[in-house]
Amino acid sequence: MPRVGAFVLAVSLCLSIPVSACSLGRLQHDVDFEPLSTALGVDEAKALAEWFIDWRDGLGVEYAIVVAKSVRGEPRSLDLATLRMRGIARILDALNTDNVKITYADSFMSSGIRHGLGTVTIAVQPGCAKTDTCCPQPPAK
């Protein structure tokens, strides 16, 4: 019986302590392309647009970065990465109603690595990070 009483006391103490948890998930979005393709599929385009709009209309976007991978020293790989970013840029430019800065970058991989070459990653810095309002603190007692 004393164990049950201690457990109830511990639970009630935990419930009486104010706790604040905040997590900013989904700061990045991956767009997957078919191998050797620069065509952005309808499902991928829709998912990208919805993700960006959620941030833009939610906590806001301070800036974004788009990163495509290519193999160092392989011009065809760099061309694919560049064309993939252009396709993504057309979507983001149309949705960028707040004119946030969007940076496009290439990530060069060594010639032996092929994993992830068909993926372009877009990441955002939420607007609330600038004003420190992403995770509102509970009022002090």
Q: Between these two residues, 32 and 6, which has the higher pLDDT value? A: 32
The pLDDT of residue 18:
42
Q: What is the model's pLDDT at position 79?
A: 94
User: What are the residue ranges of helices labelled H in 1-141?
Assistant: 2-16, 42-57, 75-95, 128-131
Residue 90, domain member (yes or no): yes
Task: Tell me the mean pLDDT in the region 115-139.
Answer: 84
* Residue 14 falls inside a structural domain: no
The answer to the question of residue 2 being in a domain is no
- In a domain? residue 138: no
Q: What's 44's domain CATH number?
A: 3.30.1330.60
Give which of 118, 107, 92, 95 is closest to 39, Cα–Cα: 118
CA 17 vs CA 9, 68, 75, 132: distances in Å = 13, 45, 59, 24
Mind listing the pLDDT tens digit for each residue in 65-83?
999 999 988 899 999 999 9
Determine the distance from the C-alpha atom of residue 87 to the mean position of all C-alpha atoms in its chain, rounded to a whole number: 18
Residue 75 maps to a domain: yes
- Rounded to two decimals, the pTM is 0.77
Total domains present in the chain: 1
List pLDDT tens digits, range 14-34: 333 344 456 778 899 999 998
Residue-number span of the structural domain to which 70 is assigned:
22-131
Residue 98 has what DSSP assignment? T
User: Which is nearest to 55 in space by CA: 130, 125, 5?
Assistant: 125
